[in-house]
Amino acid sequence: MSGREINQLPLVKMEHVYQPMWNVTNMSLFGYEALLRFPDGFFEGNIETCFERAREAGILYELDTKSILGAAGSFPLHQLNEERLFINIYPSTLLHPGFEAFIDQFLLSFPHAYGKIVFELSETKFEDDIWEIKELKERVKHLKEKGFLIALDDIGKGAAELQKMIEFTPDYIKLDRYFAKELADSEEKQEMIALFIQYSKGKMGVILEGIEQGLDLEQAKRLHVPVAQGYLLGKPQKITNQRFIRDFSA
């Protein structure tokens, strides 16, 4: 990528789309995940590349917090009742010296956010070592004390994710989309999902990502998967009106 693009990172135009999650038992709306997009085609729309370039330029924290503000600011938080809004965040952002002040200001700016925002800790190979830093657990605990919830992504991809699930006691775990693909035809995947659900009962919520086929959704129901997300259940979409949540759930 060009130096010009890197220098423009702090000014890049962002927008967010929102993908629904559903309570599988009764197919009621559970919440949304905010997903970042670049409407001007910045970095050819590659979100991951953009954030890694920001890391190289030393402005990852600035870009990450800008995205967090955009995700909350573009969403009608006042419409949420029991639903939750999931917002992605890098572990390194939690450890930044300015993060605690950022969170205090965030709550002042978005008074309806209390108890409704789930920070989904983003996975990247560049931050593997950060998970071992003791202060990260303290920052996660601090976020919970402030009324935020925590989710871990890509659970099931490896032993490291299982260790994080045990040590960070998240409110939600999101099972990797690998488990949803052809779930109906795989007894092994069904058994693993059943184990995750059994372990998590009473401890944390389980969300299965990547549901794209009706047969896999039906199998998820038979396994008593609590929450599901995927293109079959709703594609990411922009908010075009102030009754977004009610209109969607209708």
CA torsion sign for 200, 17, 125, 102 is negative
One-character DSSP codes across 22-51: EETTTTEEEEEEEEEE-TT-GGGG-HHHHH
DSSP reduced 3-state for 18: strand
Q: Is 80 exceeded by the pLDDT of residue 235?
A: yes
Domain ranges of the chain: 3-249
Q: Is 80 exceeded by the pLDDT of residue 43?
A: no
The more confidently predicted of residues 42 and 20 is 20
Q: Residue 193: its pLDDT value, please?
A: 97
Q: Residue 77: its pLDDT value, please?
A: 93
Q: Is 80 exceeded by the pLDDT of residue 1?
A: no
The CA-based angle 225-229-230, given to 5 degrees, is 125
Instruction: Average the pLDDT over 124-145 and give the result.
Output: 93
Predicted TM-score (pTM) above 0.85 = yes
Decide: 168 and 134 in contact? Cβ < 8 Å.
no
Decide: 208 and 227 in contact? Cβ < 8 Å.
yes
Average pLDDT along the chain:
90
d(CA 73, CA 16): 10
The CATH number assigned to the domain with range 3-249 reads 3.20.20.450
Q: Is 50 exceeded by the pLDDT of residue 140?
A: yes
